[in-house]
Amino acid sequence: MMPAYIKNKIRRSSMKKKLYIGIVAEIGAGKDAVAKYLEVFYQARVLRSSDLLGEILRMLKLDSKKRKNLQKLPIAIRNTFGAHTISKAMVHWMREQKNANIVIWNGIRYPSDVEEFKKLPNSVLIGISADLLKRFKWIKKRKEKSGEEKITYAKFLEEAGQDTEKNVAKIIEKNATYVIQNNKTITSLYKKIAKIIEEEQARLNMN
């Protein structure tokens, strides 16, 4: 839940140029909390590749909230239509957002995502990491995807070891403009994000 003092400070981004933000995060590390904060506090437009994938799964009458399905589908699309198919679709979707000063791709996972995302002007990639046990506890508590409240630690470790998650760790290490260690409070996380936005505002407004 967003703290009251955050809600009371809602304001529109004062950037003179559009800022594109990519969020790459380990399972349960807090990417959705970051995206929600930016959406509420800065009126950012948040887009997720899982929304595109979820729509396809729903049309196929498959569970769009099941993590396994959301992991398998992009692999099938990439293998059939090419590695950049979803990545290009997401970047095109981002470019279409004309009324937001900040546009966010919440859930970058593949090298092709990074390659296509970096073609956008004024783009920054934020990586988010957290300790395994903390991420496990947050996943069980949030109940975002079906069955998460019942997930065992062994099952969580198995999912955290999937190829898509290995990609995430590499991208955070090699490509992230900023890296956040989210091992403290939610307020601490919000403050780190606010500092990043302030730095980017200053950079863009100077150019």
In the predicted structure, residue 31 carries a pLDDT above the cut 80: yes
Segment 65-89 mean pLDDT: 91
d(CA 92, CA 90): 5
Segment 127-141 mean pLDDT: 89
Reported confidence tier of residue 15, pLDDT bands at 50, 70, 90: low
Q: What is the pLDDT of residue 117?
A: 98
Q: What is the pLDDT of residue 176?
A: 97
| Residue the block writes with tokens 């508590």 | 141
Question: What does the radius of gyration of the chain's CA atoms come to, in whole angstroms?
Answer: 17
Segment 167-182 mean pLDDT: 95
In the predicted structure, residue 20 carries a pLDDT above the cut 50: yes
User: Is the domain defined by 4-206 classed in CATH 3.30.2010.10?
Assistant: no
In the predicted structure, residue 87 carries a pLDDT above the cut 60: yes
Q: Produce one character per residue of 69-79: b if its CB has 16 or more CB atoms within 10 Å, e if not.
A: bbbbbbeebbe
